Amino acid sequence: MITVDEALDRIFAKIPAPSSETVPLSRAHKRVLTSPLLAKHTQPPFDASAMDGYAVRASEVIPGKPLFLAGTSQAGARFTGMMEHGQCVRIFTGAPLPIGADAVIMQEQAVAQGNRVAFEKVPRVGQSIRRRGNDFTEGKELLPAGVGLTPAMLNLAASANYPSVEVARRPKLAVLATGDELVPPGTELGPDQIVASNSYGLIPLLSPYADKVIDLGIVRDNKRELEKTILGAFDYGIDVLLTSGGASVGDRDYVQDVLRDLGVELDFWKIMMRPGKPLMFGTRGKTLVFGLPGNPTSAFVTATVLVRPALRMMTGHTDPFWPFMGVPLAAGLPPNGERRHFVRGKLNRNEIGFLEVLPIAETDSNHSSSLAEADALIIQPENDPGTPAGEIVEIIPLALLS
């Protein structure tokens, strides 16, 4: 049995370097850049007005004394020529600043009478002007490699004139559940049957990091059926296989034997964490294989702690563990044993509005309602003597995982 940190190290050591592909910006949301994004031009490409108003020479503005209106500058149609002394130019937001102007006065501070415009006060030089290159200059690194593209980043890429970007390829993922007792949701239950639920949590948790997720459904505790289903997934060319259930070594737990028979080299199959002790990891060529526990909370927690970071690394993220964070405990934690405990917790605001996490007392690995209630997993270290209320603890905020 190995520690969580050792398990992560072994998994990460088997992950190949991400390969890249080109995708249009319209399909690049949450994809990860494989090389820095460099500005192709300077933005703005010229000195521009930051608002609707009048372009002036600041030194020529005398409150109440009108200037002659020489013309108009608007986006896509600049004022041509030079603005002469004693003149001003009507200008709109984003329009090029006329040659000779050094300030813009907003229209609310101007009084126009025909072709003459008077102003309430003297502007400062540079007022309401967006200088050339104020946003970025040609050749500047706008985004580093390894970032997941947010809507704001896609907006920046478009502003920098990129119709497409180079991003990390995402793996093909297959998920299956095993067990004679399992039936699909909506089934009228027999006396010894259980509704299969794991895939309905695992797939949405992991699909943001997958090019395709193949749900292989429920496979009975039958070596021949398991072998046929898993071999078919390997032949399809999946990059990651997740099984849930059958990961122990009981008489009816066939997953480990079948995986070995199909050429999977198992690295470990027990881990010092709770929930989730019976977890297998191995490889078949470049395919990663995870054998998750069958209990719903164990399957979800092990996927969150081990599989999701692996997929983030596979898809080029520089921080595989994001969004781990520290918050104070709202109530104390009792002493912990030799296994790292991922305690279900509820995020709240305290009396002064700061975020805190309240441990949920339920620790049963088959207890789905407490997992659904949880906003976070509190990471309690191995052999922790107990943690008092108010102490800062590390958490995995579940709402930020997608």
- The encoded tokens of residue 176 equal 């299956």
Share of the chain above pLDDT 90, in %: 94
- CATH class of the structural domain 325-400: mainly beta
Q: Where in the chain are the domains?
A: 4-18+170-314, 21-41+143-168, 48-130, 325-400
How confident is the model over 30-40, as a mean pLDDT? 97
353 half-sphere exposure, CB direction, 13 A CA radius = 0
| Spatial separation of the C-alpha atoms in residues 151 and 210, rounded to whole Å | 19
pLDDT tens, position by position, 259-301: 999 999 999 999 999 999 999 999 999 999 999 999 999 999 9
- The encoded tokens of residue 147 equal 């970032």
3 state DSSP class of 342: strand
pLDDT of 252 > 80? The answer is no
- CATH class of the structural domain 21-41+143-168: alpha beta
Q: Residue 284 is which amino acid? A: R
215 pLDDT tier (thresholds 50, 70, 90): very high
3 state DSSP class of 234: helix
Nearest to 315 by CA among 13, 16, 4: 16
For 200, phi then psi, to 5°, come to -75, -15
pLDDT of 225 > 70? The answer is yes
| Spatial separation of the C-alpha atoms in residues 305 and 202, rounded to whole Å | 12
- The encoded tokens of residue 198 equal 């794991």
pLDDT tens, position by position, 332-383: 999 999 999 999 999 999 888 899 999 999 999 999 999 999 999 999 999 9
pLDDT of 250 > 80? The answer is no
Domain 4-18+170-314: homologous superfamily in CATH: MoaB/Mog-like domain (3.40.980.10)
How big is the CA angle at 215 (ends 31 and 281), to the nearest 5 degrees? Answer: 75
What's the mean pLDDT when you consider all of the chain? 95
For 400, phi then psi, to 5°, come to -100, 5
pLDDT attached to residue 351: 87
pLDDT tens, position by position, 303-330: 999 999 999 999 999 999 999 999 999 9
In Å, how far are 51, 140, 205 from 135, measured between CA atoms? 16, 10, 36
Confirm if 164 and 157 have CB atoms less than 8 A apart: no
Confirm if 49 and 92 have CB atoms less than 8 A apart: yes
Q: Label residue 353 left, alpha or beta by phi (over 0 means left) and psi (-120 to 50 means alpha).
A: left
pLDDT attached to residue 254: 87
Q: What is the DSSP string of 135-204?
A: SB-TT-EEE-TTPBPPHHHHHHHHHTT-SEEEEE---EEEEEEE-TTEE-TTPPP-TT-EE--HHHHHHH
94 pLDDT tier (thresholds 50, 70, 90): very high
pLDDT attached to residue 315: 97
pLDDT tens, position by position, 144-203: 999 999 999 999 999 999 999 999 999 999 999 999 999 999 999 999 999 999 999 999
Q: What is the DSSP string of 4-71?
A: HHHHHHHHHHTPPPPPEEEEEGGG-TT-BBSS-EE-SS-BSSS-EESSSEEEE-GGG-BTTB-EEEEE
pLDDT of 247 > 70? The answer is no
Q: Label residue 359 left, alpha or beta by phi (over 0 means left) and psi (-120 to 50 means alpha).
A: beta
Q: Residue 249 is which amino acid? A: V
CATH of range 48-130; options 3.40.50.720, 2.130.10.30, 1.20.1070.10, 2.170.190.11: 2.170.190.11
CB atoms within 10 A of CB 78: 19
